[in-house]
Amino acid sequence: MNPWMHYLVWPLVKFLVAFIIVQGIVAAMNWVERRLLGFVQARLGPNRVGPKGLLQIIADPVKFLLKEDIVPANAETIAYFLGPILPLIPTFLVYCLIPFGPPPTFVAARVNVAVLLVLALTSTGVYGIILGGWASNNKYSLMGGLRSAAQMVSYEVPFGLSIVGVLMLSGSLDLVKIVNYQADHIWNLFPQLIAAFIFFVAMTAETNRTPFDLPEADSELVGGYHTEYSAMKFAFFMLAEYSAMLVNCCLMTLLFLGGWTLAIGGYGLTTQTLQHMGIPGGMLGVLIFIVKVMTFMLVYIWFRATFPRFRFDQLMDLGWKWMIPLALANIVVTGVVVLLGQSLNFQGEVVLSIAGAAIVGYTLYNLRPRAKVVHASRVSEV
Amino acid sequence: MIEYAVFFFFAAVAVIFALMVVLHRNPVVGALALVASFFALAVMYVLLEAPFLAALQVIVYAGAIMVLFLFVIMLLNLQKQSEEPTRPLQQFLGYAGSAAFGIGLVYYLSKYAVMELPAGPFIADARTVGIRLFEAYIFPFEMVSILLLAAIVGALLLSGVRMEERT
Amino acid sequence: MIPTHWFLILSAILFAIGVCGVLTRKNGITIFMSIELMVNAVNLTFLAYARQFHQIHGLIFVFFVMAIAAAEAAVGLAIFISLFHHRATIDVDEANLMRW
């Protein structure tokens, strides 16, 4: 094949297709989120524009485009413009690296250090928020930006550490190989249960979503880092946030839920099976992938409807005193079990899965509904 | 050919933004320029067939260290601090000296450091680096972990956490 | 393949710029950023020679330099915060108590 076609044109076409689909999903997610929040909170949500309010997906961008673009008087002009645009670039670049279906058709760029590159790119998303918050020349915005910087640097650590266990099991940094490994053995969710939990919490914190939305806490900081932003610039912030959510859900699916495969121990829809089925197989793989990703997006929204916001010191305590030690313990345990499994010839995944199940069982047992105990000194108050 | 284009473009980016770090009065702009310079250097690492270290460069420098710098600059509100030139002679000597140093270095390198690249591919992926790191360099690796621990304790102590205040 | 001396020249230029920043600026944070720039220039040299001589040691040195730079950034910025609390400035000319 012509190298230009192979290295430039095809990846670009793939990236553009993925980009357009992702943007469609992001626009639709806004509507889904509002309807779902309405459902949870026993109200209707947007239902006026079009059937079931579906045309809201188009109405919102039109409104963003037509609104007046206000720049505060003493803003740092260049930084103010760069703020909303900068976080978009790394988030969109990540879509080149994510395999949406069985290779080679559905991967724009297959890199052998893909996990590291994705981590690197997502870790730079914080600059836009810091910059936007600082350039607005507003105390609340600055507070939002500072909080965001501290929060994202803190949660970067458990975010990265929780992946290490997965890398040890699958022995590769290539996302495609990690997915194939899971299809041949078992979804990493089971042996790496604690890591999956940490990863999900850390990724919620990384994207500034409730219950970790302190950078934009409306009750304390008006709107946080985007207080002074209006019209299209505000829309860019939202776009970056939702794109980052989608990227994180894709990563979660690839690392812990077997990506586009639906197989266990090599039986079922593995990558080879899908590749043998040709184009329909590829489409099926993408469909499976999208269903898994969407499940996590809905969990995100469910989180938002359920949990109240953390206080900032609670957030830091959770990150540094719980998440990081837990992630480190997980690495040690996984490493020991994998090594023992190699030398004593047993499946490390099975042992880790049983241990994970035991932990979940114990936690659920401790959280079971119990009769309320009233302390003797407070009986008179009741 | 395309490699040269990439190299010269990103070399220019690295140098221009590095100059901005040194010459711009506003430390926020300086920090952001340094981030851009580090990104250009990460591209250089990719050209040098070390994509693993390029990813590390972006994660460690752009993702963590520079966020810390920006955080401190904004926390202390330093962008309004003016910097009057108090010692013009020393400053001139600084500029002239560093320029002479740079020019001399470039001259020397372009005259004496021209070497033929050896044939054969250079394999420097994450696996090779990792194996070497944990076999030959295990002792320095542990030392670095202790150093990082010391840095954490030192930073906590210096930035004003008083133990008696916390009770 | 780009020859090694191009990378060395780029590294030399960046190092000289870093030296210039350390010598001429008085803002502590800017000086610190110039030091980081010099450290990165050295990293580039390490990697260039690692490829030239097919030695993996250069890469491992860069790895250590990055770890040490992280530790240095944490301690250095803590020092500047402490200095700011005492003097309300991070001008390095003001920090002259230990000078003589």
**Where residue B81 falls among pLDDT bands split at 50, 70, 90?**
low
Contact by Cβ (8 Å): A252, A179: no
Mean per-residue pLDDT, B129-151: 88
**Where residue A378 falls among pLDDT bands split at 50, 70, 90?**
low
pLDDT tens, position by position, C30-81:
888 999 999 999 999 998 888 888 888 888 888 899 989 889 888 888 888 8
Residue A68, sorted as left (phi over 0), alpha (psi -120 to 50) or beta, turns out to be beta
pLDDT tens, position by position, A204-252:
888 888 788 777 777 777 777 777 787 788 888 888 888 888 888 888 8
In a domain, C97, yes or no: no
Contact by Cβ (8 Å): A255, A163: yes
The CATH code of the domain at B1-81 is: 1.20.120.1200
Residue of A nearest to B32 (CA): A127
Contact by Cβ (8 Å): C29, C95: no
CB contacts of B34 in chain C (<8 Å) are: 33, 36-37
Chain C nearest-CA distance from B118, in A, is 7
Contact C72 B151 (CB under 8 A): yes
Q: Tell me which DSSP letter residue C91 carries.
A: B
Give the pLDDT confidence score for residue A223 in this predicted structure.
72
Residues near A35 by beta carbon (within 8 Å), at least 6 away in sequence: A45, A46, A47, A52, A53
Give the pLDDT confidence score for residue B167 in this predicted structure.
46
In a domain, A34, yes or no: no
CA angle C51, C53, C58 (to 5 degrees): 60
In a domain, A36, yes or no: no
- The domain spans of chain B are 1-81
Contact A130 B62 (CB under 8 A): no
CB contacts of B59 in chain A (<8 Å) are: 116, 119-120, 123, 160
Mean per-residue pLDDT, B134-151: 90
The three-state secondary structure class of A192 is: coil
**pLDDT for residue A381 is more than 80:** no
Q: What is the pTM of this model?
A: 0.84
Reading the block at residue A10, the tokens are 């095809």
Contact by Cβ (8 Å): A169, A188: yes
Give the pLDDT confidence score for residue B130 in this predicted structure.
83
**Where residue A372 falls among pLDDT bands split at 50, 70, 90?**
low
In a domain, C92, yes or no: no
CA distance C65 to C88: 32
Contact B52 A150 (CB under 8 A): no
pLDDT tens, position by position, A299-315:
888 888 888 888 888 88
Best of A77, A134, A321 to mutate (most B CBs within 10 Å, chain B): A134
CA distance A12 to A20: 12
CA distance B154 to B61: 20
Residue of A nearest to B54 (CA): A117
Q: Which domain, by its residues, includes C58?
A: 4-87
The CATH number that applies at residue C38 is: 1.10.287.3510
- Residue written as tokens 């003001």? C94
Range from A234-238, B90-94, B116-120, B149-153 carrying the lowest mean pLDDT: B116-120
CA distance A117 to A114: 5
Q: Tell me which DSSP letter residue A125 carries.
A: T
CA C72 to chain centre: 10
**Where residue A362 falls among pLDDT bands split at 50, 70, 90?**
confident
CA distance B6 to B4: 5
The residue type found at C47 is L
- Give Cα separations from B164 to B155, B160, B161, B167 (angstroms): 17, 11, 9, 5
In a domain, A313, yes or no: yes
**What DSSP string runs through C30-66?**
HHHHHHHHHHHHHHHHHHHHHHHHT-SHHHHHHHHHH
In a domain, C51, yes or no: yes
**pLDDT for residue A180 is more than 50:** yes
Q: Which domain, by its residues, includes A171?
A: 67-357
Task: Count the domains in chain C.
Answer: 1
The residue type found at A148 is S
Best of B35, B44, B93, B135 to mutate (most C CBs within 10 Å, chain C): B44
Report the percent of chain B where pLDDT is more than 70: 90
What stretches of chain A adopt beta strand conformation (E)? Answer: 262-264, 267-269
Chain A nearest-CA distance from B2, in A, is 12
